[in-house]
Amino acid sequence: MKKFLSLLLALVMLFSLVACGDNSDNDGKTPVNSGDNQGDVDVPDDNGLGYTITEFDPEATYTSHGAITTLYANWNPHTYVDGNAIALWDYLSDSLYTLSFNDELHPHEGKDKDPWTSYAIIPQMAAGMATDVTAEVKAEHPDWMPEDATKGYAWEVPLREDLYFETGYHITAETYVQSAKYLLDPRLQNYRSTDFYDGQYGIAGGEKYFKSGTYALSAFVSANMGDDEYVDPANFTVTDAGTYQYEGKDIVLDINSGGNWGLDGGIKTYEGQADQVDRLIAAANDKGQVFLNADLLKDLQDFIAMLHGYGSVDEYAVDAGNYATVEFEEMAFFGQTWPEVDYDSTVGFYAKDEYTLVMVFNTSLDGFYLYWAGFGRADILVEPDVYESCLKQDETGAWTNSYMTSKETSPSFGPYSMTNYQTDKQVAYAKNESWYGWHDDVYHVYKDPNDGNVYRTNMTTNIVLDVVPESATQLQMFLSGQLSSYGLDAIEDYEKYNNSDYLQVAPDAGTGGLWVTGNMNGLKAREAADGFDKTKEDTETIGLTSFHKALAVSFDRQAFIDEVHPDYSTNFGVIGPMYIYDVEDFSVYRQTDQAKQALCDFYSVDTSKFDNLDDAVDSITGYDPEAAKELYKAAYEESLSLGYITDADNDGKCDQTITMIFSSSSPSDFVTRRINYLNSSIATATTGTPFEGKISIVESSPLSNEYLNAFANGSADCFIVAVSGSLFDPFNVLGMYLDPNGAILTNKYYDSTTDMVTINIDGEDITMSATDWYNALNGTPVTLGGKTYNYGNNNAEVETRLTILAALEGKVLQNYYMLPMMCFGSKTLISQQEFSVLDEYANPIIKYGPTRYQYTDAEWEEYVAEQIAEHGQLQY
């Protein structure tokens, strides 16, 4: 008995000592429950890692309830089309690596960063970091990389050995390879196949296998010509059949494709309207392909000339020069039969052994981009047995794939399993016990910055997403405790909840403002239409830069945000405050001196009057009603001198009214509010000017998806839209303005290839077109006067690149086609059941950190009942 009591006493003392320990240290002591997480239980430190994990109650459930407006029907990683659909797959899947928060347990590699300020590369399905095996792979497959490749092309990834699908299928490197074979199978024509092999992060050899043995049209002829852009048809060779080829590839017109011309349905839609078109259509094979010969090429050139309003290509050439004869290359494709190849000898994505995957990329990669984008190419894993059962071929020969379109065809290898999928109604997930991450003590844990305890990253045990299209219904559900979050939507929401303790504000990459057309041809065409009374109306003034300048200072951006979009923030540049130019430092472009100076220059801020550039930038409002009046007067004078408007009665006021059409996809409260705000601001700014009471903005008829084209084509004059690009590549964002192919909103009236820009680089003034600068900045060498310029990543100092970027941003601003007004953002109320580890938004990777729960589901139900009994609804 004494022995028993002694033992009992010893145990009690031991537990007492343990309970007194400081659990914030990684000293292996058993922690004390912090108490802020009801249902947590402690476990002794037995993981040998120097810290103990505060476990969540294994019996409790923590359910995240979400409301969505659209429930996608296909989340197959090989075939999904809408980018948002892949969110359904995310719960079921896992990656080789992930970029996650940098806490004390997972510091940022390479540089000393405070926890929760940067990011960390976390191996997930990989067993460790990747190894560069470029030299080794190059020796065996020199065709996969350039001759001078020494590093960064081929990487070896060790895989964990405890990876399984929920079906029990064991995941090895061969499973990845089999998945790639399915993805690239030429018969299946998977929508996402090109993602796997295309571009700098693509997998070497993927395209060859995907097109193996098929006759395929590749890019447009013009897109293949590089610096020359077009090839002289005189350099085409002629086959025995009389058809043209260039470097062994056929020159092919697809009558069903509009090519770069944006012709819906291609030239087939012009059938019967011109003999040339009819001859081309008659010459098409059953796939709609026309192999151009001399006669057919002439027909195509003539047809293009007719679209421009000329009788023939010869007439067109008088005005357009040589371009008239080569413009067809923007519509015609290269066609070729790709040689038959087998996967194993062709594709740089293979298994070295059971648990080692080798990936060979099209370009040399390392660091952030390797782990962020490169290894993301491996997110194609499918369960082979289920996948095979989902493939069906119909009698026309077309293959369909039902993998990941229902609960039964969605085997998970990620943290959650799909437990219910009801079309257009609900999708539900529950904890997938076979996922290694639930038991991983190394990479799926974090040290809480508030209490110092170590918790598992995933606390949510169940996820339910209901389709709730109406935001009013969503709000009622949220206030009834049935939703875990609610994105503020109506203006009343902002008024009511803008100061809520439960509000999370997240910025967004989308940056934009009011776009105003400069499409003079489009405006003149509208005036030429029947019924347009030039004595009473005018549209041409809308296209004047002087008019745009007046508009630019007519709007109080802060008032716009307050009255129309409380979830947005004010913006004065082309590139928003989210874009990071140096991922190692997480340095933001907008915070650079170059970017600040560009704004100050554009908004005419005298920086000498301020202590620093920050103060100078802070002084920018973009709103100057007095200056606006002068600018409207200047626009009036210019328009008057050009004969666009008149002042017949010499009263100093414009005789015509100017009605600007606001391009709208569909009517909405927000569109109405935007237009009302713009009209009200213009009315104020034009008071006392010749345009007083003469300018108004009206909403277009609902244009659905055509609202962008309407603006681009000149049938609408303005709209508010934002542009976003890769958050980690601000240098590429300006493509929407300066790349003729990407500038779909302005390329009909702004030619960035002839708009010259001079930038001083290292003391030397260099002049080239805005497009050339943009290309050089993004790594495409530009040769001028025998000298080649390349300011791409790894080709120029980052300071030089920033200087060019800022200069180009200034150039875009000076065009006055896009008048900056706002940056996108969101404001979301978070349920009282949950909280985020961080109080403030950290960065695009961390955001607010992991989610934790204050109440188990059972406790939450009780809490909600109490609150409703007391207040009628939850209080936020």
In this complex, which beta carbon is closest to other proteins, that of residue 271 or of residue 699?
271
How far apart (Å, rounded) are the C-alpha atoms in residues 836 and 64?
13
Taking CB under 8 A as the criterion, the residue among 34, 200, 256, 795 binding other proteins is 256
Taking CB under 8 A as the criterion, the residue among 95, 243, 257, 517 binding other proteins is 257
Return the range that interacts with other proteins (CB under 8 A); candidates 71-79, 175-183, 453-461, 817-825. 71-79
Q: How far is the CB of 827 from other proteins (least distance, A)?
A: 22
Q: How far is the CB of 319 from other proteins (least distance, A)?
A: 25
Return the range that interacts with other proteins (CB under 8 A); candidates 104-112, 184-192, 361-369, 373-381. 184-192
Return the range that interacts with other proteins (CB under 8 A); candidates 74-82, 320-328, 443-451, 606-614. 74-82
In this complex, which beta carbon is closest to other proteins, that of residue 194 or of residue 780?
194
Q: How far is the CB of 125 from other proteins (least distance, A)?
A: 26
Strand 851-853 with 834-836, pairing: antiparallel
In this complex, which beta carbon is closest to other proteins, that of residue 89 or of residue 350?
89
Taking CB under 8 A as the criterion, the residue among 396, 641, 650, 754 binding other proteins is 396
Strand 718-723 with 503-516, pairing: antiparallel
362 near other proteins, judged by CB under 8 A: no
Kind and range of the H or E run holding 703:
none
Taking CB under 8 A as the criterion, the residue among 81, 490, 756, 784 binding other proteins is 81
Which residues of 296-372 form beta strands (DSSP E)?
332-337, 349-353, 356-360
In this complex, which beta carbon is closest to other proteins, that of residue 188 or of residue 599?
188
Specify the residue for token string 């090895």: 172
Q: How far is the CB of 794 from other proteins (least distance, A)?
A: 23
In this complex, which beta carbon is closest to other proteins, that of residue 259 or of residue 513?
259
398 near other proteins, judged by CB under 8 A: yes
How far apart (Å, rounded) are the C-alpha atoms in residues 696 and 717?
11
Strand 332-337 with 249-254, pairing: antiparallel
Q: Which distant-in-sequence residues (6+ apart) come within 8 Å of 611 by Cβ?
A: none
Q: How far is the CB of 874 from other proteins (least distance, A)?
A: 12
How far apart (Å, rounded) are the C-alpha atoms in residues 324 and 232?
11
Q: Residue 872: phi, psi to the nearest 5?
A: 90, -20
Take residue 550 and report the two structure tokens written for it: 């007046």
Q: Which distant-in-sequence residues (6+ apart) come within 8 Å of 327 by Cβ?
A: 301, 304, 320
Take residue 792 and report the two structure tokens written for it: 């791409």
Q: How far is the CB of 754 from other proteins (least distance, A)?
A: 21
Q: How far is the CB of 54 from other proteins (least distance, A)?
A: 34
How far apart (Å, rounded) are the C-alpha atoms in residues 531 and 15?
92
In this complex, which beta carbon is closest to other proteins, that of residue 163 or of residue 331?
331
CA-based nearest residue to 305, from 293, 291, 323, 290: 323
CA-based nearest residue to 805, from 829, 840, 770, 851: 770
How far apart (Å, rounded) are the C-alpha atoms in residues 846 and 112?
17
531 near other proteins, judged by CB under 8 A: no
Q: Which distant-in-sequence residues (6+ apart) come within 8 Å of 139 by Cβ?
A: none
Which residues of 186-342 form beta strands (DSSP E)?
215-220, 237-238, 244-246, 249-254, 289-291, 332-337
Interaction pattern, residues 190-219, with other proteins; x per rule: CB under 8 A: xxxxxx--xx----------------xxx-
Residue type, 599: L
Helix, strand, coil distribution of the chain in percent, nearest 5: 35, 20, 45
CA-based nearest residue to 658, from 550, 532, 542: 542
Supply the DSSP string of 107-151, one letter for each residue: PPSSS---TTSS-EEEESSBSS--EE-HHHHHHH-GGGS-TT--S
400 near other proteins, judged by CB under 8 A: yes
Taking CB under 8 A as the criterion, the residue among 704, 764, 765, 870 binding other proteins is 704
In this complex, which beta carbon is closest to other proteins, that of residue 296 or of residue 864?
864
CA-based nearest residue to 54, from 45, 37, 42: 42
Taking CB under 8 A as the criterion, the residue among 469, 652, 667, 688 binding other proteins is 469
Taking CB under 8 A as the criterion, the residue among 320, 467, 683, 761 binding other proteins is 467
Taking CB under 8 A as the criterion, the residue among 21, 107, 258, 625 binding other proteins is 258
Return the range that interacts with other proteins (CB under 8 A); candidates 263-271, 357-365, 514-522, 778-786. 263-271
Taking CB under 8 A as the criterion, the residue among 44, 50, 142, 265 binding other proteins is 265
Kind and range of the H or E run holding 324:
helix 323-326
Return the range that interacts with other proteins (CB under 8 A); candidates 21-29, 156-164, 236-244, 390-398. 390-398
388 near other proteins, judged by CB under 8 A: no
Q: How far is the CB of 107 from other proteins (least distance, A)?
A: 37
Supply the DSSP string of 70-89, one letter for each residue: ---S---TTT--SGGGHHHH
Taking CB under 8 A as the criterion, the residue among 18, 73, 177, 283 binding other proteins is 73
In this complex, which beta carbon is closest to other proteins, that of residue 216 or of residue 721?
216
Q: How far is the CB of 153 from other proteins (least distance, A)?
A: 21
Q: Which distant-in-sequence residues (6+ apart) come within 8 Å of 682 by Cβ?
A: 551, 554, 695, 696, 697
Q: How far is the CB of 265 from other proteins (least distance, A)?
A: 4
604 near other proteins, judged by CB under 8 A: no
Residues 267-296 that bind other proteins (CB under 8 A): 269, 286-288
Residues 404-443 that bind other proteins (CB under 8 A): 405-406, 420, 422-426, 428
Taking CB under 8 A as the criterion, the residue among 397, 763, 785, 786 binding other proteins is 397
Residues 471-500 that bind other proteins (CB under 8 A): 472-473, 476-477, 479-480, 482
Opening angle at CA 459, ends 456 and 462, nearest 5 = 150
Q: How far is the CB of 774 from other proteins (least distance, A)?
A: 15
Opening angle at CA 407, ends 401 and 411, nearest 5 = 75
CB atoms within 10 A of CB 439: 10
Taking CB under 8 A as the criterion, the residue among 47, 224, 260, 790 binding other proteins is 260
By CB under 8 A, how many residues form the interface with other proteins?
70
User: How far from the centroid of its chain's Cα atoms is residue 435's Cα?
Assistant: 29
Contact in structure between 78 and 401 (CB atoms under 8 Å): yes
402 near other proteins, judged by CB under 8 A: yes
Residues that bind other proteins (CB under 8 A): 73-74, 76, 79, 81, 189-195, 198-199, 216-218, 220, 254, 256-260, 262-265, 269, 286-288, 390, 394, 396-402, 405-406, 420, 422-426, 428, 464, 466-470, 472-473, 476-477, 479-480, 482, 704-705, 741-742, 868, 872-873
